[in-house]
């Protein structure tokens, strides 16, 4: 949640704020919207650490844009 707080405070990337506002407008509570964003953050951080690759901001933004569909819901079975 600290990463989400920092990104919202710094407005970087701007898609985090846009995603929060979009989720709030669609009826999600503040805490649920932040939890959804944090779910994307945790998935991205896990992938960076597991795969030893650099942070991919375009992929992160795309995952935010797909919310409330969570990243692991996009994975093939």
Specify the pTM: 0.90
Please classify residue 22 by burial: count the beta carbons closer than 10 Å to its beta carbon, then call 0-12 exposed, 13-18 middle and 19+ buried: middle
SS3 of residue 28 by DSSP: coil
**Sequence ranges of the domains in the chain:** 2-71
Instruction: Encode pLDDT of 17-69 as tens digits.
Output: 999 999 999 999 999 999 999 999 999 999 999 999 899 999 999 999 999 99
How sure is the predictor about 71, in pLDDT bands with cuts at 50, 70 and 90?
confident
Distances (CA, A) of 1 to 6, 10, 32, 53: 9, 14, 12, 22
Measured in residues, the chain has a length of 77
Looking at residue 37, its pLDDT comes to 98
pLDDT at res. 74: 64
- Residue 77: per-residue pLDDT: 53
Locus of tokens 């942070």:
55
């Amino acid at each position: 949640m600290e990463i989400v707080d920092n990104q919202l405070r710094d407005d970087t990337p701007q898609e985090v704020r846009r995603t929060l506002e979009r989720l709030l407008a669609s009826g999600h509570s503040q805490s649920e919207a932040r939890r959804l964003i944090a779910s994307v953050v945790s998935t991205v951080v896990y992938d960076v650490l597991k795969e030893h690759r650099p942070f991919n901001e375009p992929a992160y933004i795309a995952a935010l844009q797909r919310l409330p569909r969570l990243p692991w819901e996009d994975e093939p079975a």
